[in-house]
């Protein structure tokens, strides 16, 4: 079974809130909230992938700071390697391509959202630091 490499941003604003998006119902994993990002393309770095995906999906610029953690998750028909990075928000027009909603919220409220299974471990680790 193939493993899909995906990056995601743990994006913080000036108030210390984190950014999450909800996948459109018609998309795979529709209705789940996630840290935004996307699939790594051949010959691009993880940081380049994250910046590209955020621009394409949200018209968002971030400052990618450092790797946070990597999660390996089996979704049954495929495996995902989710590579997360801590980021500082710069700007966005919040254009939604793959998502139907977004929120800025306190880290301790992430557990109340229906997160995509691969994102849960990231939220739990973030909450343990807050």
Token reading at 66: 């450092």
User: What is the value of pTM for the model shown?
Assistant: 0.95
Q: Is the pLDDT of residue 19 over 70?
A: yes
CA distance 68 to 86: 6
Per-position DSSP letters for 4-41, written without gaps between them = EEEEEEEEE-TTS-EEEEEE-TTSTTTT-EE--EEEPP
For 49-66, what is the mean pLDDT? 97
pLDDT tens figures, 26-41: 988 889 999 999 999 9
Q: What's the half-sphere exposure (Cβ side, CA atoms, 13 Å) at 4?
A: 15
pLDDT band at 130 (very low <50, low <70, confident <90, very high): low
Q: What is the CATH number of domain 3-129?
A: 3.90.79.10
CA distance 65 to 47: 9
Domain boundaries, the chain: 3-129
């Amino acid at each position: 079974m193939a493993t899909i490499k995906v990056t995601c941003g743990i994006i913080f604003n000036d108030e210390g809130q984190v950014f999450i998006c909800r996948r459109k119902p018609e998309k795979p994993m529709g209705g789940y909230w996630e840290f935004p990002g996307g699939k790594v393309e051949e010959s691009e770095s993880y940081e380049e992938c994250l910046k590209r995906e955020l621009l394409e999906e949200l018209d968002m610029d971030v400052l990618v700071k450092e790797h946070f953690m990597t999660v390996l998750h089996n979704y049954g028909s495929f495996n995902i390697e989710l590579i997360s990075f801590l980021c500082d928000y710069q700007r966005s027009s919040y254009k939604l391509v793959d998502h139907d909603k977004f929120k800025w919220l306190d880290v301790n409220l992430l557990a109340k959202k229906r997160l995509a299974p691969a994102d849960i471990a990231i939220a739990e680790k973030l909450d343990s630091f807050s």
